[in-house]
């Protein structure tokens, strides 16, 4: 008897890639394009510039690439700065351009998931206080409502805000991103406003489009204490509360509680979620250094696992299972993996990363955890925020040559096509594309080294 082992997803599982407007569209005029003009903020002082030229029309050829990979879904974002370039004035031409993009996805058999906010803001919004202003949530909701009224016939799967805690901490606690503020109080205020904005947008979208499915994209940071010393454990708990729990817990309680901050009641957040998006990239070790006044909690790379460039942490894709389990047990919502990927220009880690992530999801489905789809970050190399076009931070299934705009397929793109076509992984796919993983994923498969029983016991 020959066994053809296979780890397949449920019928109707969504397979796709994720991108964000500012990172691929090019010719952006928003708070980030202004920030990029400052010295020392972006790798080699680069600017996003033409990016992947989607706004000039290249989205169509890249959607063809996604379709070739047998993707049946795609996560894109729309830019608030284009849709409402002046406060209160909506640009029909920009909305029309996004219609074209959504139609292009449908024509290629891909279901769109649209993110309304992926890190960037219109300049007028930033100028009047950005996410620190009290009326920021209501301004966001007016925009969100307008988008859903205009595009709701082409999209029913909405992601309100991408990684609010990353936006709040990078921009307002660590000061790496616009607006470059370094104050916990400011970060807490911004995070609370992002929560209010999400909750209000959730209710507004459901009112305009009752059959819509509305969620948000949560960045899940894997955090362990560096050593079991209690002070490092304390640091890990604080970092976990800040990055992983506080925002999500508000959907259960209506109360937002960041470490070292007063609880804030956001009653409208309670239950304001149809699904939870998880973006899981890296593991970090938390440390506590009482000598570093005001900056005592830090994180570092874990030993013994592959790590990314610069301070990018440990790359442990199989942990995606634990992350899904934890999120489902705590929040009980359907889950989409809205981003998952690895900075890897030579495509040495990505095939394994991809296969292990898919296996982690299959395991989760086997526990009846309702994972609905997987969106790989990213379809092609793009503008990686403060890392700009640093080649070490290449996340694409396709390589982008930013001088010529030529795209080259990486081996992982071929593997992803096989995975999407098969609705999962099989021993044959792994044997062909990631043979090193065969003993781990399919130990009984021909070609996988056999371990004798007596060696095991």
> Which residues are at the interface with ligand BGC (CB under 6 A)?
20, 162-163, 166, 219, 279, 339, 377, 384, 395
CB of 284 to ligand BGC, least distance (A): 14
Nearer residue to ligand BGC within complex by CB, 19 or 150: 19
Nearer residue to ligand BGC within complex by CB, 158 or 377: 377
Structure-token match 């928003």, residue found: 30
CB of 197 to ligand BGC, least distance (A): 17
Nearer residue to ligand BGC within complex by CB, 162 or 412: 162
**How far apart are the C-alpha atoms of 341 and 67, rounded to whole Å?**
19
Nearer residue to ligand BGC within complex by CB, 346 or 436: 346
CB of 57 to ligand BGC, least distance (A): 22
Nearer residue to ligand BGC within complex by CB, 32 or 433: 32
CB of 219 to ligand BGC, least distance (A): 5
CB of 360 to ligand BGC, least distance (A): 18
Q: Taking the CB of residue 237, how many other CB atoms lie within 10 A of it?
A: 16
CB of 378 to ligand BGC, least distance (A): 7
Nearer residue to ligand BGC within complex by CB, 84 or 384: 384
CB of 252 to ligand BGC, least distance (A): 24
Structure-token match 């906010």, residue found: 117
Nearer residue to ligand BGC within complex by CB, 204 or 335: 335
Cross-strand bridge partners of residue 336: 277, 373
CB of 88 to ligand BGC, least distance (A): 28
CB of 109 to ligand BGC, least distance (A): 25
424-426 and 6-8 beta bridge pairing: antiparallel
**How far apart are the C-alpha atoms of 213 and 194, rounded to whole Å?**
19
Nearer residue to ligand BGC within complex by CB, 111 or 220: 220
Nearer residue to ligand BGC within complex by CB, 143 or 216: 216
Cross-strand bridge partners of residue 399: 408
Nearer residue to ligand BGC within complex by CB, 217 or 246: 217
Nearer residue to ligand BGC within complex by CB, 153 or 346: 346
Per residue, the 3-state secondary structure of the chain, as one string, reads CCCCCEEECCCCCEEEEECCHHHHCCCCCCHHHHHCCCCCCCHHHCCCCCCCCHHHHHHHHHHHHHHHCCCCEEEEECCHHHHCCECCECCHHHHHHHHHHHHHHHHCCCEEEEEEECCCCCHHHHHCCHHHCCCHHHHHHHHHHHHHHHHCCCCCEEEEEECHHHHHHHHHCCCCCCCCCCCHHHHHHHHHHHHHHHHHHHHHHHHHCCCCEEEEEEEEEEEEECCCCHHHHHHHHHHHHHHHHHHHHHHHHCEECCCCCCCEECHHHCCCCCEEEEEEEEEEEEEECCCCCCCCEEEECCCCCCECCCCCCECCHHHHHHHHHHHHHHHCCCEEEEECCCCCCCCCCHHHHHHHHHHHHHHHHHCCCCEEEEEECCCECCCCHHHCCCHHHCCCCEEECCCCCCEEECHHHHHHHHHHHHCEEEHHHHHHHCHHHHHHHCCCCCCCCCCCHHHHC
CB of 128 to ligand BGC, least distance (A): 25
CB of 262 to ligand BGC, least distance (A): 28
């Amino acid at each position: 008897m020959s066994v053809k082992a296979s780890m397949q997803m449920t019928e109707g599982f969504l397979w796709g890639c994720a991108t964000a407007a500012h990172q691929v569209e090019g010719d952006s005029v928003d708070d980030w394009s202004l920030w990029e003009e400052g010295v020392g903020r972006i790798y080699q002082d680069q600017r996003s510039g033409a990016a992947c030229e989607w706004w000039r029309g290249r989205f169509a050829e890249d959607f063809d690439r996604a379709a070739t990979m047998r993707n049946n879904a795609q996560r894109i974002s729309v830019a608030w700065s284009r849709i409402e370039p002046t406060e209160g004035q909506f640009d029909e031409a920009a909305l029309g351009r996004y219609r074209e993009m959504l139609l292009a996805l449908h024509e290629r058999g891909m279901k769109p998931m649209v993110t309304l906010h992926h890190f960037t803001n219109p300049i007028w919004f930033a100028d009047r206080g950005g996410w620190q202003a009290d009326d920021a949530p209501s301004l966001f909701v007016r925009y969100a409502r307008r988008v859903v009224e205009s595009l709701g016939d082409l999209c029913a799967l909405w992601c309100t805000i991408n990684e609010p805690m990353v936006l709040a901490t990078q921009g307002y606690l660590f000061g790496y991103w616009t607006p470059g503020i370094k104050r916990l109080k400011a970060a807490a205020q911004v995070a609370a406003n992002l929560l209010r904005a999400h909750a209000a947008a959730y209710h507004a979208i459901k009112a305009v489009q009752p059959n819509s499915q509305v969620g948000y994209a949560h960045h899940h940071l894997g955090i362990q204490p560096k050593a079991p010393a209690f002070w490092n454990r304390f640091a890990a708990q604080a970092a976990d509360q800040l990055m992983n729990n506080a925002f999500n817990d508000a959907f259960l309680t209506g109360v937002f509680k960041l470490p070292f901050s007063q609880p804030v009641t956001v009653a409208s957040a309670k239950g304001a979620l149809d699904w939870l998006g998880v973006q899981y990239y890296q593991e970090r070790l938390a440390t506590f250094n009482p000598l570093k006044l005001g900056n005592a909690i830090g994180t570092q790379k874990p030993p013994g696992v592959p790590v990314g460039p610069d301070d990018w942490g440990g790359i442990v894709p199989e942990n995606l299972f634990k992350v899904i389990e934890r999120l489902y047990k705590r929040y009980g919502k359907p889950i989409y993996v809205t981003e998952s990927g690895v900075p890897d220009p030579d495509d040495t880690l990505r095939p394994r990363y991809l296969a292990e992530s898919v296996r982690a999801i299959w395991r989760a489905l086997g526990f009846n955890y309702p994972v609905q789809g997987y969106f790989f970050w990213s379809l092609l190399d793009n503008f990686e925020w403060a890392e700009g076009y640093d080649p070490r931070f290449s996340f694409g299934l396709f390589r982008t040559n930013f001088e010529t705009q030529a795209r080259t397929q990486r081996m992982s793109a071929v593997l992803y096509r096989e995975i999407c076509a098969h609705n999962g992984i099989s021993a044959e796919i792994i044997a062909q594309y990631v043979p090193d993983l065969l003993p781990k994923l399919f130990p009984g498969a021909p070609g996988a080294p056999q371990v004798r029983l007596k060696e095991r016991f």
